[in-house]
Amino acid sequence: MAGIPFDQRDGVIWYDGKLVPWAEAKVHVLSHGLHYASSVFEGQRAYGGKIYRLQEHTERLLFSARELGFEIPYSVEEINSACELLMKEQGLVDAYFRPVAWRGSEAMGIAAQKNTIHLAIAAWEWPSYFSPEEKLKGIRLDMATYRRPDPATIPFRAKAAGLYMICTISKHAAEAKGYTDALMLDYKGDVAEATGANVFFVKDGKIHTPKPDCFLDGITRRSVIGLAKARGIEVIERVIKPEELADFEQCFLTGTAAEVTPVSEIGPYNFVVGDIVKQLVEDYAVEVQPKNAAQAAE
């Protein structure tokens, strides 16, 4: 269904406790979530009929809502079951899932404590975020103008819709200049992340990655750190200055959508798609696949 607008696709969406036809999964134009960004979401993938780290994603969804001051009226178990039901009803095996929760339209204004909390889950087939050709040679990143804000000013541990506004602006600006994505610094001017993925660097056989102290500590990020350590590769989480980019040999991004994606260029800095990055690409591909038919059927 590539190229078909998302509001015109076929199938069903899980919406407030029931499956509804895709085209009928609508929100009102005066929903609080649209005007004041009181909305949280997740991105998760299924491989071979198994949703990777579903429990962690669902727990983070509920946590994100609480960070924004509301409770999603469904339990982890109910949301997990809804995702599994949706995968079955949609006939999906390898797919992307987008749970999203938001405040409704009962009141319009900054305060909306009594607004209904809605939850919807959509799922669809979705290939790699970057093309195989891009992955093989590494993607090119621009340097973003906007920075990740001070953690005292935002609920940075939440996967909240409003926090992605500067990411969209930055990615659009990068694409307009022929890049695939952009690297964002943090409010102190240190390296933070890409617009929708965490970033890692390799030097002298060790992996270096920014401490997630003002941006999301990704679930895929944690998975890949575990894979690297299982290989005996040292992973150092620390402050990384932008001028250090000149000294790193390899670079890659991680995320549910990005998976493990090599980077060949960030602004004026170049990197090779080396052995460590290639190994982690392979290890992650193995990690996300169900280990046997019984696991896929769980």
Domains of the chain, residue spans: 6-124, 132-288
pLDDT, position 239: 98
User: Does 53 score more than 60 pLDDT?
Assistant: yes
Active-site option among 88, 114, 137, 159: 159
φ, ψ (nearest 5 deg) of residue 130: -115, 150
The more confidently predicted of residues 290 and 183 is 183
Amino acid 295: pLDDT: 45
pLDDT value at residue 2: 61
Strand duo 44-47 + 39-41: pairing: unpaired
pLDDT bin (cut points 50, 70, 90) of residue 128 is low
pTM over 0.85: yes
Give pLDDT tens digits for 76-121.
999 999 999 999 999 999 999 999 999 999 999 999 999 999 999 9
CA dihedral 240, 242, 161, 126 (to 10 degrees): -90
Confidence of residue 19 (pLDDT cuts 50, 70, 90): very high
pLDDT digits (tens, 9 = 90+) for 176-224: 999 999 999 999 999 999 999 999 999 999 999 999 999 999 999 999 9
Which CATH architecture describes the domain 6-124? 2-Layer Sandwich (3.30)
* HSE-CB of 251 using CA atoms within 13 angstroms: 25
Asked if pLDDT for residue 297 goes beyond 70, the answer is no
Collapse the DSSP code of 262 into the 3-class scheme (helix H, G, I; strand E, B; otherwise coil) and give the result: strand
What b/e sequence results for 221-232 when a residue is b if at least 16 CB atoms lie within 10 Å of its CB, and e otherwise?
Answer: bebbbebbeeee
Residue 130's pLDDT is 61
Given this model, what pLDDT does residue 4 score? Answer: 87
pLDDT confidence bin for 127, thresholds 50/70/90: low
| pLDDT for the residue numbered 106 | 97
Beta bridge partners of 270: 265
Confidence check: pLDDT of 133 > 70: no
**Residue 223, C-beta contacts closer than 8 angstroms, at least 6 positions apart:** 53, 254, 284, 287
Is 241 considered catalytic here? no
As its CATH architecture, domain 132-288 has Alpha-Beta Barrel (3.20)
